C-alpha cells in the first residue's frame, strides 16, 4: 500500500531529469511510495524524460496539467496521489539519499502533520560576495527567502509553520485538503496579474490553528541555484513577484480573510546586519553608509541591490493593486474562497 506521494511540479525537462536522477538513488523506506511528475503547460518533452526512469523509480507516473501555474500542478498532484502523506519538491530540489527515510521516521509520530528540513544551496557557480548579506540569521540558524534556502542547526525541533517552503514541503493529505491547499503561485510572466501568495496562506492557517512544522534536518534537499539567479536582474524580478504576492495577501485580508491576522509566529528575523539595514532604511544615516562603503565593497554592492530590490517590490505591489482595481473579474479571482475546488 502506497503511503508517500512525492509530487514534482515541472515545466523544465532538464531540471526534472536531474531531480529524478537523485530520486532514483535514494535509500528506500519500509512503506511503499510513488513519484508523480506533474508537467505544467510547456511543450518540452517531460514525458520522454519521465519514461526513461520507469525502471529505476517505483510507481513513477507522468501527469500533464493544462492549467498554468504551480498551484494547479500541486493541486493536481494531491488529487492524483494515492498516499496519505504528500511530499512536495520542486524540479530544482535534489533530494538527499536518506530524504524519504527521514520523512518516514518523522511521521512515526502521529501528531506530526507538517514536516520539512534543510534546503541547502547547490550553487552552479561561486556566489557573489554580496549574496551573504541576504541571509537572515535566526536562533535556529539562517535562511534566505529570495532563494528558498534554509540552513538550520542539525537538531530536530518544532518551528513556526512559516518555514515550510514549497520546495521541500511534507504534509498529510487530509490536512492539505482541510485548509484548502495552496493559493496561486509561479505563473508565466504574461499572467503575472494572477499570481498569489502560494503556500504562504496555507502555512499561516496551519500556524494560527496550532500546527507546527516538525523540522528534521535529515529531510534534506539541495536547492539548485543557477548563476542567473545570483544577479541584480533576478533579484529585481523576484522582488516584483513578492510585491504582487503581498498585494494579493493584503487585498484578501482587507476583504475578510481573517487568517492573515497572524497570532503567533515566534520568529525573530533581525541580526546584526538586519539591524544595520533597518537603521539605514529608517533614518538614512549617511555617515554609516559612507563608512560601510569604505570598509566593504561587497556590502556596498548589497546596499545598491537592496535598494533596487525594494524599488522593484513596490513596482510589483503597485502593479497588482492597479490591475485588481481596474478589473472586477480579477478581484473575484483574488477573493476566491478555495482554489482547491
Domains and CATH numbers, the chain: 2-334 (3.90.550.10)
Are 108 and 224 in contact by the 8 Å Cβ rule? The answer is no
At 265 the pLDDT is 42
Any idea which of 39-48, 187-196, 212-221, 266-275 has the lowest mean pLDDT?
266-275
**Which residue has 536547492 as its cell numbers?**
223
Q: Looking at residue 292, what is its pLDDT? A: 53
pLDDT the model gives residue 341: 76
79-93, 250-264, 308-322: least confidently modelled range: 250-264
41: left (phi over 0), alpha (psi -120 to 50) or beta: left
| Mean pLDDT of the 182-203 span | 94
Distance CA 321, CA 310 (A): 17
Tell me what the pLDDT averaged over the chain comes to: 91
Query: Which span out of 179-193, 198-212, 316-330 was modeled with the highest average pLDDT?
Result: 316-330
Residue 239 has pLDDT above 90, yes or no: yes
So what's the pLDDT on residue 102? 98
Burial of 50 (0-12, 13-18, 19+ CB in 10 A): buried
Reported as a single tens digit per residue, the pLDDT across 82-106 is 999 999 999 999 999 999 999 999 9
The yes-or-no verdict on residue 14 having pLDDT over 60 is yes
Helix axes 200-208, 232-254, angle to 10 degrees: 50
pLDDT of residue 268: 38
Please report where in the chains the cell 498532484 appears, as a residue: 77
What one-character DSSP code corresponds to residue 66?
A: -
How many residues appear in the chain? 341
In this structure, of 13-22, 274-283, 316-325, the range with the lowest mean pLDDT score is 274-283
Average pLDDT over residues 71-84: 98
Q: Which residue has the cell 524599488?
A: 311
Say if pTM beats, i.e. exceeds, 0.85. Answer: yes
What is the pLDDT averaged over residues 299-323? 96
- CB within 8 Å of 185: residues ≥ 6 apart: 69, 70, 71, 74, 166, 195, 196, 197, 198, 199
22's CB contacts (< 8 A; 6+ apart) are 94, 95
The C-alpha atoms of residue 32 and residue 268 are separated, in whole angstroms, by: 39
Closest by Cα among 5, 6, 9, 8 to 68: 9
pLDDT of residue 314: 98
pLDDT recorded at residue 204 = 92
Residue 291 has pLDDT above 60, yes or no: no
Residue 298 confidence (pLDDT): 87
Confidence of residue 267 (pLDDT cuts 50, 70, 90): very low
123-133: pLDDT as tens digits: 999 999 999 99
- pLDDT over 90 (residue 64): yes
Give dist(CA 146, CA 234) in Å, integer: 10
The alpha carbon of 110 is separated from its chain's Cα centroid by a whole number of angstroms, namely: 25
Task: Give yes or no for a contact between 212 and 160, defined as CB atoms under 8 angstroms apart.
Answer: yes
What pLDDT sits at residue 293?
A: 54
Half-sphere exposure of 73 (CA within 13 A, CB side): 28
Residue 109 burial (10 A CB sphere; 0-12, 13-18, 19+): exposed
Amino acid at each position: 500500500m502506497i503511503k508517500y506521494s512525492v509530487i514534482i511540479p515541472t515545466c523544465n525537462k532538464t531540471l526534472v531529469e536531474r531531480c529524478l536522477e537523485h530520486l532514483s538513488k535514494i535509500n528506500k523506506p519500509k512503506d511503499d511510495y510513488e513519484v508523480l511528475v506533474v508537467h505544467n503547460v510547456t511543450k518540452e518533452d517531460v514525458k520522454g524524460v519521465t519514461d526513461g526512469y520507469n525502471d529505476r523509480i517505483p510507481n513513477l507516473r507522468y501527469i500533464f496539467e493544462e492549467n498554468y501555474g504551480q498551484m494547479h500542478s500541486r493541486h493536481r498532484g494531491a488529487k492524483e496521489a494515492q498516499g496519505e502523506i504528500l511530499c512536495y519538491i520542486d524540479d530544482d530540489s535534489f533530494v538527499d539519499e536518506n530524504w524519504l527515510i527521514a520523512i518516514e521516521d518523522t511521521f512515526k509520530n502521529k501528531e506530526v502533520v507538517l514536516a520539512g528540513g534543510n534546503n541547502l544551496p547547490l550553487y552552479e557557480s561561486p556566489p557573489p560576495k554580496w549574496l551573504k548579506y541576504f541571509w537572515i540569521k535566526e536562533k535556529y540558524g539562517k535562511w534566505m527567502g529570495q532563494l528558498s534556502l534554509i540552513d538550520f542547526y542539525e537538531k530536530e525541533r518544532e518551528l513556526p509553520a512559516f518555514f515550510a517552503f514549497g520546495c521541500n514541503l511534507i504534509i498529510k493529505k487530509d490536512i492539505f485538503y482541510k485548509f484548502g491547499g495552496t493559493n496561486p503561485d509561479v505563473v508565466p510572466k504574461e499572467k503575472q496579474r494572477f499570481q498569489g501568495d502560494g503556500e504562504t496562506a496555507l502555512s499561516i492557517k496551519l500556524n494560527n490553528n496550532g500546527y507546527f512544522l516538525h523540522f528534521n534536518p535529515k529531510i534534506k534537499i539541495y536547492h539548485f541555484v543557477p548563476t542567473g539567479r545570483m544577479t541584480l536582474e533576478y533579484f529585481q524580478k523576484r522582488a516584483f513577484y513578492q510585491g504582487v504576492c503581498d498585494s494579493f495577501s493584503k487585498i484578501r485580508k482587507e476583504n475578510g480573510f481573517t487568517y492573515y491576522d497572524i497570532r503567533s509566529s515566534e520568529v525573530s528575523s533581525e541580526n546584526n546586519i538586519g539591524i544595520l539595514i533597518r537603521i539605514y532604511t529608517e533614518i538614512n544615516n549617511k555617515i554609516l553608509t559612507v563608512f560601510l562603503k569604505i570598509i566593504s565593497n561587497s556590502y556596498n554592492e548589497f546596499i545598491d541591490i537592496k535598494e533596487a530590490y525594494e524599488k522593484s517590490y513596490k513596482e510589483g505591489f503597485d502593479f497588482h493593486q492597479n490591475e485588481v482595481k481596474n478589473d472586477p473579474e480579477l478581484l473575484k479571482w483574488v477573493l476566491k474562497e478555495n482554489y482547491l475546488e
